[in-house]
Amino acid sequence: MQEIVYFGTYTKKSSQGIYQAYLDTEKKSLTTPKVVLKTGNPTYLQITKDKILAIASRQDLGGIEIYRKADGTLLDEALTPGPNPCYVAYDAKRHLVYTANYHKAEVNVYAIDEDGKLSLTDSFQSEGQGPRPEQEKSHLHYADLTPDGRLVVIDLGSDRVFTFDVSASGKLDLVATYQAEAGFGPRHLAFHPNGKFAYLTGELSSQVQNLAYDAHSGHFRQVQTLPTIPADWTAHNGVAAIHLSADGKFVYLSNRGHNSLAVFAVDTHNELTLIQHITTAGDFPRDFDLDPSQNFIICANQNSDNITLYARNVVSGKLTLLQKDLLLPEGVCVKFDA
């Protein structure tokens, strides 16, 4: 079977935009990615049934672009002066798009119609700071949905996680705030399929937190905190992406610096146990994704301009490296086709 995978990139050096490759699940091999859409700094993507949502920048403007997936036609864009966002999410039920901007500490909400046209419905501005040098002010790194349809916004700068109710018209209402330990540096979050627990990466602390989620109130409660790197690792590391297997039995995250994927088993109480570190065979693994069959993982190494392909044992959760020499310039996002 041929599975399509998209890659978002920086375009600061040799990259030209959004790339695409094909995973052959029978041959267990991945093709070298090719450019499918030329645009500036499409650092994060969301793929829907018929559209590609991409972060974008042009000269001194930053924002998002919407493309028709079938032919690459640009349907609309929302670009404003200043740095581009770092995250984009799609709300299929309410037909909304959310962006998180690291540098502006801002979340924007857009309504999107069937033709891909965008209209701003609301925004949220965060203010705060933390003890680490990277936390001189608020830095919003993530804005995406809970299983019950709320919006979670993560502020790396102030060690906070905000939970919002979202109206049908795209208005935000803050209902809960989770305060992590000072210097934790939260970045991304992934929910367990049961909707009762979520796993939060600490980019700056090289930790992962297991959080209980109260669907009634929208509050998170810390259950467990674990390191993502070996105790004897003393060089720099920054945790990046996190994903769960579809059955909820395994958590995967990427370590930039240690240059590894960490694999955690999830027990019947939803607690984590580290079971594997495996090299990404490259430098600065920014993002990765599990394929629809759950038998493979593809990881993008930003600084070494390569991607790695792993076979995944669905029973043990452990990974085996299959390919490591495929060229992808400045890769920062991996998304399988919807």
Indicate the CATH number for domain 1-42+240-337: 2.130.10.10
**What is the per-residue pLDDT across 282-322, written as a single tens digit (0 to 9) for each?**
999 999 999 999 999 999 999 999 999 999 999 999 999 99
Burial class for 194, CB neighbours closer than 10 Å (0-12, 13-18, 19+)? exposed
**What is the per-residue pLDDT across 186-231, written as a single tens digit (0 to 9) for each?**
999 999 999 999 999 999 999 999 999 999 999 999 999 999 999 9
The second-level CATH assignment, the architecture, of 83-227 is: 7 Propeller (2.130)
The whole-angstrom separation of Cα 261 and Cα 279 is 7
**What is the per-residue pLDDT across 141-180, written as a single tens digit (0 to 9) for each?**
999 999 999 999 999 999 999 999 999 999 999 999 999 9
Distance in angstroms between the alpha carbons of the first and the last residue of the chain = 15
pLDDT value of position 305: 98
The whole-angstrom separation of Cα 231 and Cα 101 is 33
What is the token pair recorded at 35? Answer: 């450019």
Residue type, position 236, single letter? H
The whole-angstrom separation of Cα 164 and Cα 317 is 33
**Fold agreement (1-42+240-337, 83-227):** yes
Runs of H (alpha helix) within the chain: none
**Domain boundaries, given as residue ranges, for the chain:** 1-42+240-337, 83-227
Work out the percent of the chain whose per-residue pLDDT is above 70: 100
Task: Please choose, from the candidates 103, 161, 179, 86, the residue with its C-alpha nearest in 3D space to the C-alpha of residue 137.
Answer: 103
pTM of the model: 0.98
**253 phi/psi in degrees, rounded to 5:** -145, 160
